[in-house]
Structure formats: C-alpha cells, structure tokens
A and B are shown apart, each in its own frame.
Chain A
Amino acid sequence: MMPPDFIAAWLNKNEIFTAMTIMEYWDGAVTTVQLVFLCLVIGLVFAVPLAILRTVKNPFISGPVWIYTYLFRGTPLLIQLYIIYYGVAQIPGIQETFWWAIFREPFYPALLAFTLNTCAYTTEIIRGAIVSTPHGEIEAAKAYGMSWFLRMRRIVLPSAARRAVQAYSNEVIFMLHSSAIASVVTIVDLTGAARNIYSRFYAPFDAFIFVALCYMVLTFTMVFAFRKLENHLLRHQRPVGS
C-alpha cells in the first residue's frame, strides 16, 4: 500500500497536478457525467416511441422520423453543436424572449445537440431490433388474439430490448467520447479542464494523458455495467449448466 503522505509529497513536488488542478478536473468530470447522463436518458425516452413510429407502414408517419434520423446521423455532431449554440444566438430578437434564459448558457444548447444526436442513433438501433423480431413470435401473438399494443408491450419490445442492448452500449460509449467537443462552446467539461490546464502550463502530455485516463475509467465503468445488464437480459442464451 502506498502511504498517503507519499502521494501528498508527489503532489507537492510536481507543478501541474496540484490540489487546485485536480479540483478543476473533478468539476469537469461532474459536468461531463451530467451532460452525458442527461442526454442519454432523454434520448432513450424519445427514441423508443420514435423507433416504433419508424416501423409503421404509413410513410406520412415513418417518413418524418426517417428524415430526422437521416439528418442527425448524416452530419457531424460538432456542426450540429455549432449551429445550435452560435446559430440560435444570431436569430434576431431571441435575446428578448424567454428562450434566451435557456440558450444563453452553453450547457443547454450542448445538451439539446447531444440529445438530438444520440436520440437519432438510438432510434435506428431500436428500430433495427424491432424489425428483426422473428415472424413466428408475432404470428403466435396474433393467434392468441393480442392487440397491436399488447403485442408491442409483451412480445416485440422486450425481445427487441435484448437484441438492442449490445449496440446501445456502444452508442453510450461513443456519446461519452463525443461529449469532449462540448469544450468548444466554453463548457468546462473534462476536456475543457484539460485544455485550460494545458494552456496554463504548456504541458500537453501531462494534461491530456491524465484526462484520457479519466475517460478510460468512465468508459470501463460503463462497459462493466453493461456487461452485468447483458448477462442479466441474455441469461436464457447461456449454455446449460454454466
């Protein structure tokens, strides 16, 4: 075990990782986690109904959802963030409306851009899982006389969730990594903290390798959580006796 005074001595000796900069990284980590967690939750809540609408045969219902996912998956998140953050501020008179209270701060425009983006990807992931539901299962449900709604709730969505969880765990990790661009609109997230500290001490390796480690810790925590969830959801697929 490393004695704590050893760590304190090391912290005092080096110039960059002082208690103050560690606090900056910590505040940045809190902002990153808040931003990513909120956008994922809101994105998922909207993605489930959108994915169902996207599978409806009527093109007037599925078309708009298709256009939305096409637009947001077809353009870089950085551009979407620029348009929402800088573009909205250019709308004449926006500063006098109540919207300005929300759009003045960088957090909400970034949250909006991230949510719209992750929601588009998640919609397509869930839609893919829905359309790959085996026909036999749906036919059997129909034979039991289940209504469309009951079929969705009892048969399609639960099995789609199992198929989607692996692809969705990738989306969650991508979103965490994409959130690094929040620092371009003055948000001091993990990357923003690293950039501030880098520009103060001109030590790119120390500042960025440390922040890369922070992201890795967050990523592996999530990978671990998803592995547990997959094990739970897909336990029926495990070989007998294991």
Chain B
Amino acid sequence: MKKLMIAASCALAMMTSGIQAEERDLRIAFDVPYAPFEYKDDNGELTGFEVELAEAMCEEMKANCEFVIQSWDGMIPGLLARKFDMVMSSMSITEERAKRVLFSEPYYNTPGGWFGPDDFNADVTDKSAMKGKTVGVQRGTTMDTYVTEELGNVVTVKRYTTADDMVLDLEGQRLDAAFVDYPVGEQTILSKDGFKEVGEAVKLGEGMGVAMRKRDKDLAEEVNDALRTLKEDGTYDTIMKKYFEYDIKV
C-alpha cells in the first residue's frame, strides 16, 4: 500500500510538473512603433503583424506569453540579460547577430526599398550616377550594410537611429534618397506628396527570425515547429493578408 502511495504521488508530481512545463511563461520583446509589424492601436493595445503571429505561436506552443516593449538599441543586451526570452521585432538574421543569439527559421522577409523626391532621376545601381549623393539608412540594419558595401565609397551614408528622423531629413532635402525597409518606406515616405520609389527593391538576407539566447535550443525547436504549423495550416496567411497586399512569407 505504502509503495503504491509513493508511486501514485510520484506519478502526480510528474504530471503536474508536465503541466507546468507546458504552461510556462515566456516574455517576448517588441520595439514599438514599427507599423505595421508592431504598434499600438487607437485604444493603446499592442497589435500588428508580428504581435498577432506571436499570439498564434504562443497558442500553438501552449505557452503563457507576456509582451514586453523594449527599444531597439537594448534588444540583444536585454535578451542576454534575461529581461525577456525572445525577440520578435523584425530582427533580420545576420552572421554578426548569430554569434550572440540563436535564431529561429525566418518567418518573413521584406525587401529594402529606394525612396526619394520626385525629381530624383539617377540609377541607384549605377555607381557613377550615384557619385556624391547622400543616402540615409537606419543604423545597424541590413540596408545599412548593403549601402555601405555596395555604394559606401561613392555616396555619403548618413545613419539614423529612427526612421522618423531620416524621413524628416529627406523632406528637408538633406538626403537625396533613403534606402529603407520597404513597408516602412511605403507608409512613411510614399504617403507624402512629392516622393516616389526611385529604384528597384532589393531582397536582402535570409529574412527575420525570432531571436533567443544561445542556450535555449529546445525553445528554438519548439518555435520552429510552431511557425511551420502556422505556415502550413493557413493561420500565417490569414494574418499576413490583414496587413499586407503583397507576399512576405518565406
């Protein structure tokens, strides 16, 4: 009888711990506003493509998720300092970042777009035509790396912390063109009079991945499984169509 009691309590303990493992807490960090990926709606609620995808992913993983707002500069340090467990804030997978964090498989990829005033008429792929021009990028983005590598020795590259500051300088004619994440440029630059797309959009890198700490290999596997299921069962497409008219699926 005693043995049975012990066995039963052990089984119970294993079951409860099993349940706890399934309902564990996860904190996911976003940098807002970065519409339409993550922003606050009119009621102050956090929403957007990545937020909804994160919600669906958490449901799939049966995890209890808490959303944390963190500015971009502190993303990787905050992740490593365990302020949160995942970053799902349009972080593109790069070699340098992969040295410090563990990435999931990419879950979306948008191209970089060239934007400028209506009278801009140089070919952005032609080095001699771009000579002496001033191009704005967001510091540390894949767009920054692309412009620095491709055109760094002919154009002046100006690096901005926020896209808003860059758009202000483009309007103020301090910049000849901006090379920025396509959806961001579409919303902030093309929506204004006197601006147009000035060059072919460029697909950069592998795309965006969920960033986690290097040691959380099991978590990364779960995230990959969840994302794969969402992409296959149509949930991903439903969310994507709410925010985009074009395909950003990878």
- Chain A interfacial positions (CB closer than 8 Å to B): 86, 89-90, 95, 100, 104, 106, 184, 186, 195-196, 198-202, 204
Contact = CB atoms under 8 A, between A and B. Distances in A.
Interface string B167-206: 0110111100000000000000000000000000000000
B29 to A, nearest CB: 15
Contacts of A100: 173
Given A186-B160, A196-B159, A204-B77, A104 B174 contact: yes
A184 B161 contact: yes
B140 A200 contact: yes
Contacts of B169: 86, 89, 186
A100 B172 CA distance: 10
B158 interface: yes
A196 B139 contact: yes
Contacts of A195: 139, 161
Contacts of A95: 172-173
B8 to A, nearest CB: 51
A89 B174 contact: yes
Contacts of A204: 77
A143 B171 CA distance: 64
Nearest to B136: A186
Given A89-B168, A195-B139, A204-B77, A186 B159 contact: yes
Contacts of B144: 199
Interface size grouping (class) on chain B: 20 to 34
Nearest to B100: A202
B76 interface: yes
Identify whether the interface residues of A are mostly helix, strand, loop, or mixed.
helix
Contact of A90 (B76, B160, B161, B172): B172
Contacts of B172: 86, 89-90, 95
Contacts of B168: 86, 89
21 contacts: A86-B165, A89-B171, A89-B172, A89-B173, A89-B174, A90-B172, A95-B172, A95-B173, A104-B174, A184-B165, A186-B158, A186-B160, A186-B169, A198-B140, A199-B139, A199-B140, A200-B96, A202-B76, A202-B96, A202-B97, A204-B77
Given A100-B173, A195-B161, A201-B96, 10 more contacts: A86-B172, A89-B168, A90-B171, A90-B172, A104-B174, A106-B174, A186-B158, A186-B159, A202-B99, A202-B100
A106 B158 CA distance: 10
B249 to A, nearest CB: 27
The 4 residue pairs across chains A and B that have the minimum distance between CB atoms: A199-B140, A89-B172, A186-B158, A95-B173
Nearest to A89: B172
Nearest to A205: B77
Nearest to A86: B168
B133 to A, nearest CB: 13
Contacts of B171: 89-90
A195 B159 CA distance: 10
- Residue from A195, A198, A199, A204 whose CB has the most chain B CB atoms within 10 Å: A199
A204 B73 CA distance: 9
A137 to B, nearest CB: 53
A100 B140 CA distance: 29
Contacts of A201: 96
Interface string B135-157: 00001100010000000000000
Contacts of A106: 174
A196 B165 CA distance: 16
B1 to A, nearest CB: 60
A29 to B, nearest CB: 18
Contacts of A198: 140
A95 B96 CA distance: 40
Nearest to B74: A204
Nearest to B173: A95
B83 to A, nearest CB: 14
A218 to B, nearest CB: 23
A199 B99 CA distance: 14
A193 to B, nearest CB: 11
A201 B139 CA distance: 12
A146 B96 CA distance: 72
A186 B165 CA distance: 10
Contacts of A90: 171-172
Contacts of A86: 165, 168-169, 172
Contacts of B97: 202
